[in-house]
Amino acid sequence: MNYIKKSLALGVITLITTWHVNAQQAAPAPYGALPSADQVLWQKLGYYMFIHFGPNTFTDKEWGDGKESPMVFNPTDLDARQWAKTAKDAGMKAIIITAKHHDGFCLWPSKYSTHTVRESPWKGGKGDVLKDLSEACREYGLKFGVYLSPWDQNHPSYGTPEYNDIFAKTLEEVLTNYGDIYEMWFDGANGEGPNGKKQVYDWPLFRSVVYKHQPHAVIFSDIGPGARWIGNESGFAGETNWSTLNTDGFGMGKDAPKQAILNSGDENGKYWIPGEVDVSIRPGWFYSPDTDDKVKTLSQLLGIYYTSVGRNANLLLNVPVSRTGKIHPTDSTRLMELRAVVDATFKTNLAKGKTVLINTTRAPQITDDNYDTYWGAEGNAKKAVLTLDLGTKTKLNRLLLQEYIPLGQRVRSFEVAYWNGQKYVALVKQSTIGYKRILAFPTIATNKLRITLEANAAPVLSEIQVYLAPEMLDVPVINRTKEGIVSIKTNSPDPIVTYTLDGSEPNMKSMRYNQPFELKKGGTVKAKAFINNGKDFSDVVIADFDLSTADWKVLHASESKKESQINRAFDGNGRTSWEANPAGSTGIYEIAIDMGKEMEIAGFTYTPANNGNTGGTVTKYNFYVSRNGKDWDRILTDKVFGNINNNPVKQQVMFPSKKQARFIKLEALAVIGADQSGMKINEIGVIVM
Ligand code: FUL
Ligand code: CA
């Protein structure tokens, strides 16, 4: 309640302060739910760093279980200034750190826990990561935010009402000792604690502690109220993305609005709760040496930039600090590459100072390169036609549009067409704009763009900008047949394609790709295309293959209506899946496979369903190997795939030691949505080295 009043009041203040800008016309009235001044500042940050760091960094886990010894936390060379400098150099505006993840370990010496840096060997128990990082952020002019998981698998009082007070005190400690906190990141995950009980969280209490000590902090959670989760951890907001959301009657975690709603917001939603895209630069949230060669490529990161910042959302990019206590060079190099491309793309706004006509009125505020000056349609006209006159024929391939959000989010659809000398040719048709919308399209040459807007109230625009982004060569595409034959294709005319098999970055001197080659054992293929004697090149593309499954046969498996599709569980295609019949919540599932011959295996992989429906995904399992298909050796017991529901990517699990085996068996002990779906396997594989 309080919250709405506050934002309305701020809306009025904003109107007054920008009045002079539009002195010649009546200032447009605000529409719908409005952002608070803090939310507007938050939105302008755009891009910032997430850091996952803690015991999991040292144990190859995504979710610790709280039983890890604090002795494992021992970074050899922790340097928070290196993190801040990296973020700054990357063009980021802030850092949010996992002060406490689900394992309960506190990165500061909390009074309310006995599972903290104080109990670790790092700095002889005298260290405080939050102190180091908050100071480093101040030094580099970055804002500082914290992630604090209420789910705590270590705290003895977790699962009792007393824990809510302890969590509130813990929160207070973090919010009062390290200066300004711009964003408080609340995780909706709620699992069992050390006594096997789940906690009923007192969210109103937790929020009130934040409001009391950090009144300017934006509170992030599934449902805000400051900013909302975008519904996935893979890096994209909806093409339609309203910053407004209806949250009455909804809660956190399981009680949150559907992920598809979080992804696109609610048109005319009651509250202003803009989206934040959280995604990791590596497959997992925590550092592991296993992912050193799986850092996202430049093209992947650039894609994420366009589907987050370019779709009215903020981008919170996770860069997990490594075991040394520093950001790994591969990750920081990639961040600098991204910054270079983003800078080069948005260096010159070709629309700056150019004429925009709305019907017949000029609107210089839209091309002055200043967000805070805007043009608003007069009266109640919900439709407007804007013509941007570039004067001369100009090459461009990016269009950036911004609504003036202090007055609300209004535009519900727009169409862009360009003048080809004779007529207007349709370019794009899209839905929402919001704070910032960036559209990418193949280069055109034109002197005029026409933008037709349809809005829920008279549209109000801050900026129209156009750019010519440097074009990159298409990345090659790597494929492998079930028999293990790798081919690399490219669209670019007559390129030189090179590749590596040892994890290194391909260059002009690497192996030259001329024809398909065999890679039965699997491994990592990295490829790159070059033209003009290496002067122009594509981004690197990475493909990861397990042992070829050509000789595999099912030995036995759980009952399935889709018996004939069982080969989909190992057809070399991570998108096709096999599903066993639902066995109820107490059911155990299995699939046992004959690999055709005995070999030495180092680990296995599991690819879950990844088509938006996680039903049937294995969350807990045992894994067995055998030499004769009868006597099984259980080598992994009661293991969990941490966070697989939110982040349904291929899981790679290494065995404690290599095993001789011809047969493998996965036994699922729990699957997601067990009452409706049976176990689903998109792909199972083994790793041989
Ligand atoms: C999720 C957590 O469960 C993950 O481990 C990670 O911290 C991610 C950012 O949020 O809910
Ligand atoms: Ca402007």
C-alpha 615 – ligand 2 centre gap (Å): 47
The atom number, within ligand 1, closest to the CA of 147 reads 7
Sign of CA dihedral 641, 647, 648, 652: negative
C-alpha 45 – ligand 2 centre gap (Å): 17
How much is the pLDDT for 10?
40
Residue 154, phi then psi, degrees to nearest 5: -110, -35
* CA–CA gap between residue 592 and residue 305 (Å, rounded): 42
Q: Is 189 in the pocket of ligand 1 (CB under 6 A)?
A: yes
C-alpha 259 – ligand 1 centre gap (Å): 15
How much is the pLDDT for 25?
56
118 DSSP 8-state letter: G
Residue of 643, 645, 647 to mutate, ligand 1, most atoms within 8 A of C-beta: 643
Collapsing DSSP states into helix, strand and coil, what is residue 529? strand
Residue 254, phi then psi, degrees to nearest 5: -60, -25
Collapsing DSSP states into helix, strand and coil, what is residue 430? strand
pLDDT in tens, 516-568: 999 999 999 999 999 988 888 999 999 999 999 999 999 999 999 888 899 99
**Which one of the ligands is nearest to 276 CA?**
1
Q: Is 185 in the pocket of ligand 1 (CB under 6 A)?
A: no
**Which one of the ligands is nearest to 221 CA?**
1
Band of pLDDT at residue 379, cut at 50, 70 and 90? confident
The atom number, within ligand 1, closest to the CA of 63 reads 5
C-alpha 404 – ligand 2 centre gap (Å): 9
C-alpha 612 – ligand 2 centre gap (Å): 38
CATH of 477-545, picked from 3.60.20.10, 2.60.40.10, 3.40.50.1370, 3.40.718.10, is 2.60.40.10
Give the pTM.
Answer: 0.90
Mean pLDDT for the stretch of residues 614-628: 95
Residue 666 and residue 619 in contact, taking contact as beta carbons nearer than 8 Å: no
C-alpha 187 – ligand 1 centre gap (Å): 7
* CA–CA gap between residue 18 and residue 374 (Å, rounded): 9
C-alpha 257 – ligand 2 centre gap (Å): 35
Give the CA-trace dihedral at 211, 215, 218, 221, to 10 degrees.
-10
Q: Is 646 in the pocket of ligand 1 (CB under 6 A)?
A: yes
Mean pLDDT for the stretch of residues 388-397: 97
How much is the pLDDT for 26?
64
Residue of 101, 646, 647, 651 to mutate, ligand 1, most atoms within 8 A of C-beta: 646
Band of pLDDT at residue 384, cut at 50, 70 and 90? very high
Q: Is 278 in the pocket of ligand 1 (CB under 6 A)?
A: yes
How much is the pLDDT for 159?
94
Residue 208 pLDDT greater than 80, yes or no? yes
**Which one of the ligands is nearest to 222 CA?**
1
Q: Which amino acid makes up residue 214?
A: Q
- Could you check whether 2-30+348-467 and 553-687 share the same CATH topology? yes
C-alpha 354 – ligand 2 centre gap (Å): 12
Please report where in the chains the tokens 């879950």 appear, as a residue: 608
Nearest to 491 by CA among 442, 440, 451, 529: 529
Nearest to 591 by CA among 553, 617, 561: 553
Q: Is 305 in the pocket of ligand 1 (CB under 6 A)?
A: no
The token pair that represents 222 in the structure block = 């599934």
The atom number, within ligand 1, closest to the CA of 286 reads 5
C-alpha 643 – ligand 1 centre gap (Å): 7
pLDDT in tens, 442-485: 999 999 999 999 999 999 999 999 999 998 888 899 999 988 99
Residue 161 pLDDT greater than 90, yes or no? yes
* Domain 553-687, classified CATH 2.40.110.20, yes or no: no
C-alpha 506 – ligand 2 centre gap (Å): 44
Q: What DSSP element (H or E) covers 386?
A: strand 383-403
How much is the pLDDT for 461?
96
Residue 600 pLDDT greater than 50, yes or no? yes
pLDDT in tens, 403-440: 999 999 999 999 999 999 999 999 999 999 999 999 99
pLDDT in tens, 237-288: 999 999 999 999 999 988 999 999 999 999 999 999 999 999 999 999 999 9
How much is the pLDDT for 307?
98
Residue 360 and residue 417 in contact, taking contact as beta carbons nearer than 8 Å: no
Q: Which amino acid makes up residue 371?
A: Y
Q: Indicate the range of 14-23, 254-263, 568-577 predicted with least confidence.
A: 14-23
How much is the pLDDT for 689?
81
Mean pLDDT for the stretch of residues 369-379: 90
Residue 239 and residue 311 in contact, taking contact as beta carbons nearer than 8 Å: yes
**Which one of the ligands is nearest to 368 CA?**
2
How much is the pLDDT for 18?
39
Residue nearest to atom 6 of ligand 1 (CA): 285
**Which one of the ligands is nearest to 462 CA?**
2
The atom number, within ligand 1, closest to the CA of 187 reads 11
Band of pLDDT at residue 15, cut at 50, 70 and 90? very low
Band of pLDDT at residue 49, cut at 50, 70 and 90? very high
Residue 185 and residue 96 in contact, taking contact as beta carbons nearer than 8 Å: yes
Band of pLDDT at residue 353, cut at 50, 70 and 90? very high
The atom number, within ligand 1, closest to the CA of 52 reads 7
Residue 35 pLDDT greater than 90, yes or no? yes
Band of pLDDT at residue 19, cut at 50, 70 and 90? very low
**Helices 298-308 & 329-345 angle (0-180, nearest 10):** 60
**Which one of the ligands is nearest to 403 CA?**
2
Residue 9 pLDDT greater than 80, yes or no? no
57 DSSP 8-state letter: H
* CA–CA gap between residue 213 and residue 323 (Å, rounded): 33
Residue 329 pLDDT greater than 80, yes or no? yes
C-alpha 367 – ligand 2 centre gap (Å): 6
Residue nearest to atom 2 of ligand 1 (CA): 643
Residue 314 pLDDT greater than 60, yes or no? yes
Residue 489 and residue 476 in contact, taking contact as beta carbons nearer than 8 Å: yes
For residue 661, what are the β-bridge partners?
A: 599
**Domain 39-345 carries which CATH code?**
3.20.20.80
How much is the pLDDT for 13?
40
C-alpha 266 – ligand 2 centre gap (Å): 27
Q: Is 607 in the pocket of ligand 1 (CB under 6 A)?
A: no
Residue 191 and residue 158 in contact, taking contact as beta carbons nearer than 8 Å: no
Residue nearest to atom 3 of ligand 1 (CA): 643
Q: Indicate the range of 16-25, 131-140, 341-350 predicted with least confidence.
A: 16-25
How much is the pLDDT for 563?
86
Q: Is 232 in the pocket of ligand 1 (CB under 6 A)?
A: no
CB hemisphere CA count around 10 (13 angstroms): 19
Mean pLDDT for the stretch of residues 351-379: 92
The token pair that represents 112 in the structure block = 């309310």
C-alpha 125 – ligand 1 centre gap (Å): 27
* Domain 2-30+348-467, classified CATH 2.60.120.260, yes or no: yes
Residue 4 pLDDT greater than 80, yes or no? no
For residue 134, what are the β-bridge partners?
A: none
Mean pLDDT for the stretch of residues 145-161: 96
C-alpha 241 – ligand 2 centre gap (Å): 22
Mean pLDDT for the stretch of residues 568-580: 92
Mean pLDDT of the chain: 93
Residue 89 pLDDT greater than 70, yes or no? yes
For residue 478, what are the β-bridge partners?
A: 488
Residue nearest to atom 4 of ligand 1 (CA): 643
How much is the pLDDT for 472?
81
* CA–CA gap between residue 581 and residue 561 (Å, rounded): 6
Band of pLDDT at residue 492, cut at 50, 70 and 90? confident
How much is the pLDDT for 587?
81
User: What are the sequence ranges of the domains in the chain?
Assistant: 2-30+348-467, 39-345, 477-545, 553-687
Q: What DSSP element (H or E) covers 139?
A: helix 129-139
Band of pLDDT at residue 585, cut at 50, 70 and 90? low
Nearest to 265 by CA among 237, 236, 232: 237
The atom number, within ligand 1, closest to the CA of 151 reads 3
Residue of 65, 187, 641 to mutate, ligand 1, most atoms within 8 A of C-beta: 187
* CA–CA gap between residue 407 and residue 232 (Å, rounded): 28
Could you tell me which residues come within 8 angstroms of residue 462 by beta carbon, excluding any fewer than 6 positions away?
365, 366, 370, 371, 372, 373, 374, 402, 403, 404
Q: Indicate the range of 213-227, 333-347, 536-550 predicted with least confidence.
A: 536-550
Q: Is 149 in the pocket of ligand 1 (CB under 6 A)?
A: no
